[in-house]
Amino acid sequence: MEDELNVPVNITTRAQRGVALLAVLWLSVALSFIALSTSYLVRTEVEAASNRIESERSYYLARGGVEAAVYSLIRSAGQPPEEAEFRPGQRWLEYEFPEGVCRVEVVPENAKISINTAPPELLAALFASLGMPQDKSIDLAAAIVHWRSARSSSVDDPLDLYYAALPRPYPARHASLEHLEELLPVRGMTRDLFFGRMQQNSQGEWRRWPALPDLLTTEVTGNAINPNYAAHEVLRALPGWNDTMAANVVRVRNVTPFTSLAEMESATPDLLAASRLSPLTFAQGPVYTLTATGALHGSGVRRTVRAVVRVGASLPLFHQVLGWWDEWAAPPELSTAAGATGRGV
């Protein structure tokens, strides 16, 4: 009996136990990887959901900023500049909410070139200031004038024949534009030109070209440009202006907005002759582009919306929303924007 108890363990049994242990170890490793993968996926989904929630909250902050800016404009009408929430020349309004902040860029539509009434020379100069070759700028300006003009006869002209011969033909509008997006089918118009682009020069430096909605408007402005708000490219395109004049006006107005033509000419003497070649105005409204960017406290998520709003005492609730875009790029000047009491950027 003792001999049987002292018999060594069978080698086969030991091998089986070793295989079982190895299988258990591999299973443990596999389960660990599954647990880690599941943990990573759960964490990723939680972060994605959190970002989505923060994005939606930032979006509603931006919407709230637009509404707040509208009522700041309404309340400022007729008020002395020193008492108004929004003063002539001011470009930024800032609103603090319990959960975050919203900064609103305010630009009157008379800071832009009217696409329905601008002469072709002004349009061609604008497109040239956006980096388009001179010949193509002239051709595009002529095509826009053709697009917005009523037919002069029942016979198709070369541009009408061009649109009719396209793989997916369409007729020219031959009427004033109601929305700037109606420019997209015009011959010579490109998406890069319309929506803006980033371009690198030969020195490796990047330049941001603005989108046409920042430079053009369908509103009737009397062709007078507000130099306190006009983009550099718009000022550059005005008759008699050049890059140096436009840059000087932008530099000075960023510190102290102009209140009169004489003040602007005094600050930038080179404009004395050029300012007589194109009408300028320092009036504010009544139509504004409001670009609002909302951001939660402690969050890097931002959302930007844009609205075109008409403000007036005769309108229901004293304003009318003419256009709305839920997704818009944040203004590049946002990082240097002034607060609500600032004189503008």
Spell out the per-residue pLDDT of the chain, length 345, in tens: 445 545 555 666 766 677 777 777 788 888 887 887 777 777 777 677 778 889 999 999 999 999 999 999 999 887 787 788 899 899 999 999 999 999 999 999 999 999 999 999 999 999 999 999 999 999 999 999 999 999 988 888 999 999 999 999 999 999 999 999 999 999 999 999 999 988 877 777 888 899 999 999 999 887 789 999 999 999 999 998 999 999 999 999 999 999 888 888 888 877 777 766 778 999 887 999 999 999 999 888 899 999 999 999 888 889 999 999 999 988 876 644 444 433 333
Kindly write down the DSSP assignment for every residue of 189-234, as one continuous string: --HHHHH-EEEE-TTS-EEEEPPGGGTEESS--TT-B-TTT--HHH
User: How many CA atoms lie within 13 Å of 98's alpha carbon, on the beta-carbon side?
Assistant: 0
> Residue 291 corresponds to which tokens in the numbers above?
């670009």
* CATH number of this structure's domain 116-212, picked from the four choices 3.30.1330.10, 2.60.40.10, 2.60.40.420, 1.10.40.60: 1.10.40.60
> Residue 34 corresponds to which tokens in the numbers above?
């599954």
> What is residue 113's DSSP assignment?
E
Record the pTM: 0.81
Start and end residues for every CATH 1.10.40.60 domain found in the chain: 116-212
Asked if residue 328 lies in contact with residue 83, where contact means CB atoms within 8 angstroms, the answer is: no
Helices (H), 97-133: 120-129
